[in-house]
Structure 1
């Protein structure tokens, strides 16, 4: 369970960082 939580946190961190770099791409994907 802890591992899954850590993975989710890591994904969120990467997504947030990537949004600043390629926010349009994230918005186009509609993943968030």
Structure 2
């Protein structure tokens, strides 16, 4: 779960550059 949270956070930050924050948050929770 910790690894998923870290990867989710990284991907979330990357996604926020091109997608909306809500989408990045959704992706983050999806991976966790």
TM-score range, shorter chain: 0.5 to 0.7
C-alpha RMSD of the superposition = 1.2
Misfit runs of 4+, over 4 Å:
none
Unpaired stretches in structure 2, ≥5 consecutive residues: 26-32
Q: How many residue pairs were aligned?
A: 23
The structure number with the bigger radius of gyration is: 1
TM-score scaled to structure 1, two decimals? 0.55
Query: Which structure shows the higher helix fraction?
Result: 1
* Bigger RCO of structures 1 and 2 (CA < 8 A, at least 6 apart): 2
